[in-house]
Amino acid sequence: MTAAGVVLLFAAACNSEKKESVGDSTAVDTSVTTTDTVTKPVDSAAMMKAWEAYMKPGNEHQMLSKSVGNWEVEISFYAPDGTIASTSSGIKAETKMIFGGRYLHSNYKGNMDGMPFEGMNTLAFDNSRKVYISTWIDNMGTGLMYAEGNYLESKKQMTFKGTATDAASGKQIPFREVFTMIDDNHQLMEMYDTKDGKESKTMSIKLVKI
């Protein structure tokens, strides 16, 4: 049981006790009394069981762990016409499972267009909501990219949808990310933005395990 789970159980128990105490009869006059409805106590055993299921790593987390290791990274950006505008190679990624095998965490370091580059990606599977979650931050901005999606075993592919900040307009731009685990040593991430109702490929990341 995590500290957060203990806090939630304690809060629920306290809340239940408060609700039960409200049920005392209160005299309004010599002939009329009112009684508040008593809320049933929280089933702490059921809450404990649900929380244990929520925190336990499963098959989905085992699948994520296959990406653990060191990777050589090549990042390409695409022009509006679909051609490659620039490519940066020599970037390294160190990927590991953290917090007892619950999250896949990757650190990227290298140079991009002659500038130092650092990025951080976290992949998760939410046991309760049954969705995969991806977050990304880097030193090329001050925002955080957040996306949710699913995994298709037949294609070894994860598809995410989310939003990212367009620095030029300050608006949130919808994006789609396709992450393909080609084999144990090769992966491909492709990013597509949607502007004015039209989707276009903006970036690809090739990863080769070293």
| Domain ranges (residues) in the chain | 61-209
Give the domain 61-209 fold.
Answer: Lipocalin (2.40.128)
Q: Which two tokens stand for residue 103?
A: 């999250």
Taking only the tens place, the pLDDT of each residue in 22-34 is 344 344 444 444 5
What is the mean predicted confidence (pLDDT) over 110-128?
96
Residue 171 burial by Cβ neighbours in a 10 Å radius (0-12, 13-18, 19+): exposed
- Rounded Cα distance, 200 and 82, in Å: 8
3-state secondary structure of 52: helix
3-state secondary structure of 29: coil
Taking only the tens place, the pLDDT of each residue in 140-151 is 999 999 999 999
Query: What is the overall mean pLDDT for the chain?
Result: 86
- Rounded Cα distance, 150 and 177, in Å: 11
**Which position has the higher pLDDT, 110 or 35?**
110
**What does the DSSP 8-state code read for residue 83?**
S
Distances, alpha carbon 130 to alpha carbons 28, 60, 61, 116, 151, in Å: 51, 10, 12, 37, 11
- For the beta carbon of residue 147, count every other beta carbon within 10 angstroms: 20
Q: Output phi, psi for 130, to 5 deg.
A: 60, 45
pTM over 0.85: no
